[in-house]
Structure 1
Amino acid sequence: MVTEINFDGIVGPSHNYAGLSLGNLAATSHAGDASYPRAAALQGIAKMRHNMALGLPQGFFVPLPRPNPDYLPRLGATPETDPVLTAQSWSASSMWTANAATVSPAPDSADGRCHLTPANLVTMPHRAQEWPDTMRQLALAFADRTHFALHDPVPPTFGDEGAANHMRLCEGHGAPGVEVFVYGRSGGAFPARQHEQASRAVARLHGLDPARTVFVEQAPEAIAAGAFHNDVVSVANERVLFTHAEAFADQQGAYDAIRAKFPALEVVEVPSDAVSLGEAIKTYLFNAQLLTLPSGEMGLVVPTECTDSPAVSAWLDSMVASNGPIRRVLPVDVRQSMANGGGPACLRLRVVADPATVDPRFILSEAKADLLERTITANWPEQIDMADVGNPALAKDIVAARQALLEALDLSELG
């Protein structure tokens, strides 16, 4: 049966706070802090368990090879000569699988297959190295070519950051939908990471009907405030668009453009006088998982930072009390990810498909979650200080930890 499956990235054993992501205020504000890879990975597993307990299918992706063995040699550098490049080679940012690819479900595509295009992530050097290994993993998980089509990334001239800048509206996940691509324009202190031409290329490659495709510009003010991806200020699910009032360059124009192709649109807009743009970005109110629960009602999986904020908590309470389309607020603790700039939505890639068509090694069960927890507890470093990044002994331990996970999951071909 076709349904939505959320694939979460397991936080890798090299998780650290190097502050590499310009424009990601959480990441840069925690630069130099000690990180806790084991706790981070276990928090991610707990979030996946939480969503499975709601009755939702859950998948996962494994960490990419880190330290990247090819990165420094190709640049003629060593840990001793260039600590910044070394930190990039250690980056565990692939855990944010919302940036792994853009996904168009089978009901939207011309050939009736689910299409995936890995993001080139060219804007940030620590992320631009990800796509070849991401593609290997996607090719394995979605190997059934009768149901899935996997494309090469968009050429790196055009920056593409994947599903974090893509939304889908539909009457039900298995029904034809309207796909919304959100792009940015350069200017201001921080770069716009999603290029309009990258979004248009993905739509063409996926065989989308122009009559059911919308392109919207993100507000430059939102990017300048730290909304480096659209999913920091907007999230959609079925008929509902949950968004901040300052998310788009032309807010009403965006609503009109979407509604012209999807008349059933329901907008839940958070006004600036209730939650400021800065507070929304600080708490990652919109970097939430907006989900259709088995009961048919919608739930919003938010980071606990939202319930810690008086303004955000009060607004969420009023939203639920208003009897609108979002009926439940479900807090989860992903503080280690949040401190590096990624909330619940960053950690997952949404794929609408029949779980039976996916390689079962990437589908989570309670028994497999137990296995992941045991393997992580036994192998992941408890703490990484920035002075440790580049340490050969720690690097060896990190490589061994990932290998132990691959062996436990029977995924050694990704080694």
Structure 2
Amino acid sequence: MKSFEVNFDGLVGPTHNYGGLSFGNVASQSNSQQASNPREAALQGLEKMKALMDMGFVQGVLAPQERPDVAALRSLGFGGTDAQVIEKAAKEAMPLLVASCSASSMWVANAATVSPSADTADGRVHFTAANLNCKFHRSIEHPTTSRVLGAMFADPEHFAHHAALPAVAQFGDEGAANHTRFCRSYGEAGVEFFVYGRSAFDRRYPAPQKYPARQTLEASQAVARLHGLSDAGVVFAQQNPAVIDQGVFHNDVIAVGNGELLFHHQDAFLNTEHVLAELHGKLQARGAAFQSICVPRDQVAVEDAVRSYLFNSQLLSRADGSMLLIVPEECRSNPRVWQYLQSLTASGGPVSEVKVFDLKQSMQNGGGPACLRLRVALKETELAAVNPGVIMTPALYGTLTRWVNTHYRDALRESDLADPQLLLECRTALDELTQILKLGAVYPFQIN
């Protein structure tokens, strides 16, 4: 039976703005208060989706969230009509309005952790929505995320969905941005790699001093239990606290893996030799030949990796066994990173080609190619059970492009978020989108 790794990319929402909400994310903070272009952001993301589809990869779409989140503002004491809620929040607590308007759900690498059926005890694909409780503007995402994922992967014979973990610091869960999977082929049992920033209960583990470690060991362990993963099929590794303090807020900013390959920076992990040895041993037991590419710090400094998002790239397997690396334009603009990438493809190793995409609107808010996609490994029968409305086709690309051009603004500043008309624009667009993607009622305004 054939198997596939499907990239479900997040469709950028109509309220894409630079609120500077993510402490620890250098790009998010340094571009705060600039004017954004939601239309351009969405079109850039769609162009990447179409390009991968044209290259023969199976590509999907994950819908954005309703913003501003009026219900969240109501829960914080703002009352009246929806328009009055927005107006009061803008007057009395603008930072809360900005947070309720965040389009951060575009980075669907944080939407959930996904375990393929080949790894799970019950032979189904398991999804656990991430609680994202480290940041208020992201902690309000998971209820809608769960509904959207449930509408996309609805068949209980093939798919199992778990609620987000308890929304407390001890179980901080940031989803697939701290999770990857290694395997010989996507349909065979693999080894799931969980990377955490700190332990919530064991003080022997070191922790960063400047920026928060968003993923806990205990959250990763809980997800592995919920998904029915075996001890032989998981490896837990701690991220280097020193790189978190340099702006590496998720593991996917310092490492990326696919198939039998881990591409990582020299300073990505604590106890690197032990981590690589455990991955090698467990994959070898499953018939896979693990290999790693370590990028030395004297060739690419952590600062350069963070600014270029070299590791927040997509590592994709081609039919001939070679790998393609999808990187943002910022990698080409950084001389040291680009020189390294040229040497990488010339070395005769597994990465045979690098393709560059312009994702400036996402990059300025702190998210590169890997942030924009949630990877789901599916067998042929499971792919057939996915809601077909969310699988990219030339016709869907054309429809979504027209939809974006119809409904999205081409400039958005913080002051614009106080306009109640923005909420109406967003709801009108999303109501139409659920029909395009055949999702049914997934947004609060459609349900309440």
Per the TM superposition, whether the score is higher than 0.5 is: yes
Equivalent position of 2:370 in the other structure: 345
Equivalent position of 1:120 in the other structure: 131
Offset at 1:7? 0.2
Equivalent position of 2:47 in the other structure: 46
Offset at 1:293? 1.6
Equivalent position of 1:323 in the other structure: 348
Q: Give the length in aligned residue pairs.
A: 415
Query: Which one is further off, 319-328 or 397-406?
Result: 397-406
Does 1:154 find its partner at 2:165?
A: yes
Query: Which one is further off, 235-244 or 404-413?
Result: 404-413
Query: Which one is further off, 19-28 or 72-81?
Result: 72-81
Among candidates 115, 122, 132, match of residue 104 of structure 1: 115
Query: Which one is further off, 249-258 or 202-211?
Result: 249-258
Separation (CA, whole Å) in 1 of partners of 2:426 and 2:90: 16
Equivalent position of 2:237 in the other structure: 216
Equivalent position of 1:83 in the other structure: 94
Query: Which one is further off, 383-392 or 129-138?
Result: 383-392
Equivalent position of 1:367 in the other structure: 395
SS across alignment from 2:211? coil
Does 1:175 find its partner at 2:188?
A: yes
Q: How does 1:2-401 map to 2 (within 5 A)?
A: 2-77=3-78, 78-157=89-168, 158-185=171-198, 186-263=207-284, 264-353=289-378, 354=380, 355-401=383-429
Task: Please give the TM-score of this superposition, normalised by the length of structure 2.
Answer: 0.91
Among candidates 423, 427, 430, match of residue 402 of structure 1: 430
Separation (CA, whole Å) in 1 of partners of 2:35 and 2:317: 37
Offset at 1:260? 2.2
Offset at 1:412? 4.5
Separation (CA, whole Å) in 1 of partners of 2:8 and 2:98: 26
Q: Is 2:328–2:358's contact at 8 Å kept on the other side of the alignment? A: yes
One-letter amino acid of the counterpart of residue 404, structure 1? E
Offset at 1:392? 1.4
Task: Output one character per residue of 1:145-171: Cα deviation in whole Å (capped at 9) or x when no partner.
Answer: 111111111112210000000011111
One-letter amino acid of the counterpart of residue 206, structure 1? H
Offset at 1:396? 2.3
Separation (CA, whole Å) in 2 of partners of 1:222 and 1:152: 30
Query: Which one is further off, 141-150 or 396-405?
Result: 396-405
Task: Output one character per residue of 1:80-120: Cα deviation in whole Å (capped at 9) or x when no partner.
Answer: 21101101110100010000000010111111111110000
Q: Is 2:191–2:282's contact at 8 Å kept on the other side of the alignment? A: yes
Q: Is 1:240–1:266's contact at 8 Å kept on the other side of the alignment? A: yes
Structure 1 stretches lacking a partner, 5+ long: none
Offset at 1:189? 1.2
Percent identity between the aligned chains? 47
Separation (CA, whole Å) in 2 of partners of 1:132 and 1:290: 30
Equivalent position of 2:202 in the other structure: none
Structure 2 stretches lacking a partner, 5+ long: 79-88, 199-206, 444-448
Offset at 1:295? 2.8
Separation (CA, whole Å) in 2 of partners of 1:204 and 1:402: 35
One-letter amino acid of the counterpart of residue 262, structure 1? L
SS across alignment from 2:325? strand
Separation (CA, whole Å) in 2 of partners of 1:2 and 1:146: 17
Q: Is 1:56–1:294's contact at 8 Å kept on the other side of the alignment? A: no
SS across alignment from 1:352? strand
Q: Is 1:14–1:37's contact at 8 Å kept on the other side of the alignment? A: yes
Task: Please give the TM-score of this superposition, normalised by the length of structure 1.
Answer: 0.98
Cα RMSD (Å) of the superposition?
1.1
Query: Which one is further off, 160-169 or 381-390?
Result: 381-390
